[in-house]
């Protein structure tokens, strides 16, 4: 979970009071790619001055078909300003360390998506985690841009044979989902997609999981490197996680429930079997990491759980 490389780089930059350099970011990315076992799915790292995304908070992105990780250098400066407002420690000598860790967390987030796809492509035991990932990555899953054999293994036949007379409808629904979700960040796309994309992305289990797990990696790193920084990191993770859930008098509404409702209204030919969540209840931490249903008692215990996270 932690690494001598990350420790050495962060300590070096702390001593020099400097931000991460391009060469350091590249070194970190290649290290993480190897550590996560995703070398087959990340072939190129590309530094770009300006982002083509409308959302200028996006520091990095993973392009699935070309296996490329993009780092948008102008956006790093913007993101540092945003994260600087989250910094609360009195020790100003740690300010740049915190901001450097914030950039590493973003890179970990993007590589988490690559790990998700690797799991989908290589897993043969179709457990609940697989089905959650398949459901969220359904567009990528059935598109199979890398031409891998997992589709026939999963469906037992070609996609066209499996969906039969409904195949053309499936393609239309996939295109509709792409319009609502994937084109949001294209500057040429219509503004009519903005609101839908924001709400879908905010409650998408793969985005929630990538953020949650990348925060945990930074927390684990700081247990060895800068334990005092974990006060901020754990507080941020707690607030991000708690804000995803809506407590009512009778229960807690999870982001996954809202995602299922929106997603199934677009892709009607592939639905998630909600009963599996009750039949195969996952550990509390894993449910939080995907934004899955939790009880009111568990909701009230989110802070204690996150504050207790450790290696």
User: Using one digit for the tens of pLDDT, what is the confidence trace for 84-107?
Assistant: 877 766 677 788 999 999 999 999
The pTM for the full model equals 0.92
Q: Does residue 196 form part of some domain?
A: no
Q: How confident is the model at residue 182 (pLDDT cuts 50, 70, 90)?
A: low
* Pairing relationship of beta strands 60-63 and 68-72 according to DSSP bridges: antiparallel
3-state DSSP call for residue 70? strand
Q: What is the mean pLDDT of the chain?
A: 90
Query: How confident is the model over 10-60, as pLDDT tens digits?
Result: 999 999 999 999 999 999 999 999 999 999 999 999 999 887 776 667 899
Please report the pLDDT score of residue 55 as a whole number.
65
Is position 193 within any domain?
Answer: no
pLDDT at 186 over 50: no
Residue 247, strand partner residues: 252
Range of the structural domain that residue 210 is part of: 4-119+201-307
Cβ(254)–Cβ(292) under 8 Å?
A: yes
- Return left, alpha or beta for 50; rule: phi > 0 is left, psi -120 to 50 is alpha, else beta: beta
The answer to whether position 166 is within a domain reads no
Domain tally for the chain? 1
Are 92 and 14 a contacting pair, CB within 8 Å? no
Within-domain flag for 147? no
Q: What share of the chain is helix, strand, coil (3-state, %, to 5)?
A: 65, 5, 25
DSSP 186: B
The pLDDT of residue 195: 43
Residue 24 has, within 13 A of its CA and on its CB side, a CA count of 17
Do the domain assignments include residue 124?
no
pLDDT (tens digit per residue) in 221-245? 999 998 999 999 999 999 999 999 9
What span, in angstroms and rounded, lies between the C-alpha atoms of 276 and 286? 15
- Is the model's pLDDT at 119 over the cut of 90? yes
> What CA–CA distance (Å, rounded) separates 151 from 170?
15
End-to-end CA distance of the chain: 8
Q: What is the pLDDT of residue 61?
A: 92
Cα gap 212→296, rounded to integer Å? 20
Domain-embedded: residue 274: yes
Measure the CA–CA gap between 194 and 181, rounded to whole angstroms: 9
DSSP for 156-184 reads: SS-HHHHHGGGHHHHHHHHHHHHHHTGGG
Mean pLDDT, rounded, for 157-180 = 95
pLDDT at 191 over 70: no
């Amino acid at each position: 979970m932690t690494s001598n490389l990350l420790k050495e780089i962060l300590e070096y930059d702390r001593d020099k009071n400097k931000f991460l350099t391009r060469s350091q970011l590249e070194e970190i990315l290649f290290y993480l790619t190897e550590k996560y076992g995703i070398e087959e799915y990340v072939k190129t790292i590309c530094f770009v001055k300006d982002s083509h995304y409308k959302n200028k908070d996006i520091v990095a992105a993973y392009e699935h078909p070309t296996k490329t990780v993009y780092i948008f250098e102008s956006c790093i400066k913007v993101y540092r300003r945003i994260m600087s407002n989250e910094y609360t420690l009195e020790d100003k000598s740690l300010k740049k360390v915190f901001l450097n860790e914030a950039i590493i967390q973003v890179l970990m987030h993007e590589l988490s998506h690559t790990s998700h796809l690797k799991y989908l492509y290589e897993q043969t035991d179709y457990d609940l985690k697989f089905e959650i990932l398949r459901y969220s990555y359904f567009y990528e899953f059935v598109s199979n841009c890398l031409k891998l054999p997992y589709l026939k293994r999963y469906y037992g036949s070609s996609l066209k044979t499996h969906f039969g007379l409904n195949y053309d409808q499936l393609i239309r629904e996939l295109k509709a989902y792409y319009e609502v979700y994937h084109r949001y960040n294209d500057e040429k796309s219509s503004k009519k997609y903005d609101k839908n994309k924001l709400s879908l992305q905010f409650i998408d289990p793969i985005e929630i999981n990538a953020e949650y797990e990348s925060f945990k990696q930074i927390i684990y790193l700081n247990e060895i490197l800068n334990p005092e920084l974990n006060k901020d990191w754990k507080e941020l993770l707690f607030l991000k996680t708690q804000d995803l859930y809506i407590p009512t008098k009778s229960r807690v509404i999870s982001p996954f429930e809202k995602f299922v409702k929106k997603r199934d209204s677009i892709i009607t030919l592939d639905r998630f079997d909600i009963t599996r969540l009750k039949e195969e209840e996952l550990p509390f931490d894993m449910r939080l990491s995907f934004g899955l249903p939790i009880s009111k008692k568990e909701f009230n215990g989110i802070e204690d759980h996150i504050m207790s996270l450790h290696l």
